[in-house]
Amino acid sequence: MHALYLVIPALAAGVLGYRFYSAFIAAKVLSLDDMRKTPAHSKYDGANYYPTTRWVLFGHHFAAITGAGPLLGPVLAAQYGWAPGFMWILGGCVLAGAVHDMIALWASTRRGGRSLAEITRSEIGSVAGTTAVIAILFILVVTLAGLGLAFVKALADSAWGSFTVSATIPIAVFMGFYMFKWRKGHIKEATVIGVGLMFLSVIYGKNVNESAMGAYFRLSPHQITLAMGIYAFVAATTPVWMLLTPRAYLSTYMKIGTILFLALGVIIVNPTLEIPAFSQFLGGGPVIPGPAFPFVFITIACGAISGFHGLIGTGTTSKMVDRETDIRPVGYMAMLFEGLVGVMALIAASALHPGDYFAINATPAAFANLHIPMVNLQDLQSQVGEAVVGRTGGAVSLAVGMAQIFANLPGMRGLMAYWYHFAIMFEAIFILTTIDSGTRVGRFLLQESIGRVWPKFGDTNWRPSALASSGVMVLLWGYFIWTGSIDMVWPLFGVGNQLLASVALAVGVTILINLGKAKYAWVPLAPLSFLSVMTLYGGFLNIRDNYWPKAIGPDPALHVVGYVDAICTLVMMVCAVVIFAAAARRWMLVLSGKVATTPELVEAQALEVSTVA
């Protein structure tokens, strides 16, 4: 079967979903109204609250939500065949993920740009709000750990890859000083220089690899973990203009350009999908140790639905919405494009022969027990100049699949090694953008939480507080990377991410019922019912079949890891159930008439606007 048979239905589903379903949600469910002033206007401060034109905001939101999740999740889920992942991406993206993102963005925009935890507290209750803070902290840690582990697996023992990715850090610092200090406003000049230097780092990475300097960049997994921790700590504690902002700016160009080029390559090459529609590992396999039902729904998080998007929508994007009708393209359409990214990643992985795919994504011992022969991998290894066997995590197999597609374009043969390392840099930039931003978000969350008890600690400008909270975040996610493997950490990340999405959907249902719009509550309630059950079931299987056996098994080295992973999963599940129970209680109180509905008052908002003005 050829890739276009997946691309065309994916595009058609996205177009139909946006044209009809998002229009229904915008008009009937959310009642978007440009007469209402958004927080970007009513709370304008020129920094955090800033009205941004529709398509500029679309680009910002897309860059923020599209981390490595939609790239790696579909690759790992290809273990089950291409069909389960493809169906979940299509259905989940149109009916769940885009709905989640749109409602979360709308809820925060209507409530002055409040965060998800604050909205949970005001709409459901204080217990649910406090629980949401705990849940978000846990989920942030496991999210960063899951993505960071994939980063480590991609760069371990690769001098070319490590040099290329390392070079992007001083390039970003240079761009920061260039744009914000030396030549303020000359963004185009900085862009040309930065992008040019980035491509040169890919080209000359080969020379570094073959020189004596290569030994300094050929790092072990633990060395890469330490280096990533140091980088994240520095990025979380330095001014945003110096490193965080220029890195995000660079990554936006990389994300959009590479995905469009990959889509063009898939259309032109139209590769054959070597992975079957349904594999022999529907009951669990060497990549993800769990059955396709329900593990495909937590393995592919970003790309179908992601709770992390709710943090972005309620954290930054809602403070930049110019007009309410912009919520539809920014919230719904951006998620559709992320779904397309997921489909492209699935195609790139499925274009590999099964033996080649499992040789990369399974450990050598597990692959030896499969008795599936490698087909092209030895030749691919010689072409890319790297040993890729046993490089689990999804990033390496995706890079090989992407490079294989790019190399089959007219005039591109012989450039396989460059395309492979370009793809590695592309994925690594995705991951590092999430790591540094997520660590900074976690720092603020810790400062805010501890600040309730110790007010001085809540001062984000107090240096000891910033250093301590950033250090704690790095140690927390660094522990999971140091001690974990992808088959343990990625399901943990998936459970946490999908539980967070379920919480946001539950808040959306509560808001609609509180507003007297119970007849439309099915829009978020339908995906909430499916996702929460699947995720809680997957979390239970994770504990029973994956983590607890390691905690009590014969290998003492795995006892602590097994206990920690089991406890973290259990805590996240309990937090989610507490919030679900509080939300259901609120629904019953309002629907029974014991608590009155609270329709939004435009007059009250207008009064707030005039007061701010």
On whether residue 199 sits in a domain, the answer given is no
Does residue 336 surpass a pLDDT of 90? yes
131-135, 211-215, 419-423: segment of lowest average pLDDT: 419-423
Distance between CA atoms of residues 451 and 445, nearest Å: 10
Residue of higher predicted confidence among 358 and 154: 358
40-49, 241-250, 495-504: segment of lowest average pLDDT: 241-250
Q: Is 268 left (phi over 0), alpha (psi -120 to 50) or beta?
A: alpha
pLDDT band at 609 (very low <50, low <70, confident <90, very high): very low
Q: Is 303 left (phi over 0), alpha (psi -120 to 50) or beta?
A: left
On whether residue 165 sits in a domain, the answer given is no
Cβ burial, residue 343 (10 Å; 0-12/13-18/19+): buried
On whether residue 193 sits in a domain, the answer given is no
Q: What is the mean pLDDT of residues 19-47?
A: 92
Distance between CA atoms of residues 282 and 111, nearest Å: 44
On whether residue 170 sits in a domain, the answer given is no
Q: How far is CA 85 from CA 68, 292, 293, 351, in A?
A: 16, 9, 11, 14
Q: What is the mean pLDDT of residues 134-144?
A: 85
What's the CATH code of the domain at 394? 1.20.1740.10
Q: Helix or strand or coil: residue 297?
A: helix
Q: What is the mean pLDDT of residues 86-97?
A: 97
Does residue 441 surpass a pLDDT of 80? no
Distance between CA atoms of residues 267 and 283, nearest Å: 32
Residue of higher predicted confidence among 372 and 186: 372
CA nearest to 500, candidates 117, 125, 64: 117
Q: What is the mean pLDDT of residues 541-552?
A: 94
On whether residue 200 sits in a domain, the answer given is no
**DSSP secondary structure of 179-193:** IIIISTT-HHHHHHH
340-354, 545-559, 599-613: segment of lowest average pLDDT: 599-613
pLDDT digits (tens, 9 = 90+) for 254-284: 777 788 888 888 989 999 999 999 999 999 9
Distance between CA atoms of residues 420 and 413, nearest Å: 12
Q: What is the pLDDT of residue 174?
A: 86
Q: What is the mean pLDDT of residues 410-429?
A: 79
Q: What is the pLDDT of residue 447?
A: 83
Residue of higher predicted confidence among 461 and 8: 8
Q: How many distinct structural domains can be found in the chain?
A: 1
Q: What is the mean pLDDT of residues 146-153?
A: 82
Does residue 16 surpass a pLDDT of 50? yes
On whether residue 327 sits in a domain, the answer given is yes
Distance between CA atoms of residues 146 and 486, nearest Å: 7
The fraction of the chain above a pLDDT of 70, given in percent, is: 95
On whether residue 182 sits in a domain, the answer given is no
Spatial contact of 479 and 567, defined as CB atoms under 8 Å apart: no
Distance between CA atoms of residues 195 and 62, nearest Å: 20
Residue of higher predicted confidence among 78 and 171: 78
Q: How far is CA 199 from CA 188, 202, 217, in A?
A: 17, 5, 18
197-206, 240-249, 259-268, 504-513: segment of lowest average pLDDT: 240-249
On whether residue 132 sits in a domain, the answer given is yes
Does residue 601 surpass a pLDDT of 60? no
Highest mean pLDDT: which range of 165-179, 202-216, 278-292, 440-454: 278-292
Mean pLDDT of the chain: 88
Question: CB atoms < 10 A from the CB of 409, how many?
Answer: 15
Q: What is the pLDDT of residue 307?
A: 92
Residue of higher predicted confidence among 386 and 363: 363
Handedness of CA 421, 422, 426, 427 (dihedral sign): negative
Does residue 452 surpass a pLDDT of 90? no
Highest mean pLDDT: which range of 75-89, 368-382, 592-606: 75-89
Residue of higher predicted confidence among 231 and 415: 231
What domain range includes position 308?
Answer: 4-157+219-612
Tokens of 95: 């009916």
Q: What is the mean pLDDT of residues 602-610?
A: 41
Residue of higher predicted confidence among 23 and 66: 23
**Residues in CB range of 246: below 8 A, 6 or more apart:** 172, 173, 175, 176, 179, 190, 194
Question: CB atoms < 10 A from the CB of 552, how many?
Answer: 11
Q: What is the pLDDT of residue 485?
A: 66
Spatial contact of 578 and 501, defined as CB atoms under 8 Å apart: no
Q: What is the pLDDT of residue 431?
A: 80
**DSSP secondary structure of 165-225:** HHHHHHHHHHHHHIIIIISTT-HHHHHHHHHHHHHHHHHHHHHHHHSTTHHHH---HHHHH
